[in-house]
Amino acid sequence: MTARLLRPGDDPIRPAQVDAVEITLDGETMRGVQGQTIAGIVLASGVLSWRRTSVDGRPRGLFCGIGVCFDCLVIVNGERDVRACQRRAVDGDAVASQHDRLPEASA
């Protein structure tokens, strides 16, 4: 039997029943399904960038998507420096964008 002939309930990749997940990004509610990363839900909601660089204030969001570049940092339930591309969303997660400034140079 090929994958094309699998019944929906037997398909391990696309289970018939998926649980909905609801998160907020800076207070805006976004919906996804269980198993999606925070970045996946945010992107699917049409938001392409959610933080700014510390030097030039340029927009950043998903770049590598595999946990290497740290461009996607967010605050999740008060925990800073969370990579949105690596954290699976949990229903009720409160996500906040994270804008950091470089430390002031000491004299």
Binding site for ligand FES (CB under 6 A): 62-65, 67-72, 83, 85
Q: How far is the CB of 73 from ligand FES (least distance, A)?
A: 8
* Identity of the residue, 30 or 62, whose beta carbon is nearer to ligand FES in the bound complex: 62
* Identity of the residue, 30 or 83, whose beta carbon is nearer to ligand FES in the bound complex: 83
Of 46, 91, 49, 102, give the one whose Cα is nearest residue 72: 49
What Å distances lie between residue 42 and 2, 25, 82, CA to CA? 34, 8, 14
* Identity of the residue, 15 or 65, whose beta carbon is nearer to ligand FES in the bound complex: 65
Q: How far is the CB of 70 from ligand FES (least distance, A)?
A: 5
* Identity of the residue, 21 or 87, whose beta carbon is nearer to ligand FES in the bound complex: 87
Q: Are strands 28-33 and 20-25 parallel, antiparallel or unpaired?
A: antiparallel
Q: How far is the CB of 23 from ligand FES (least distance, A)?
A: 16
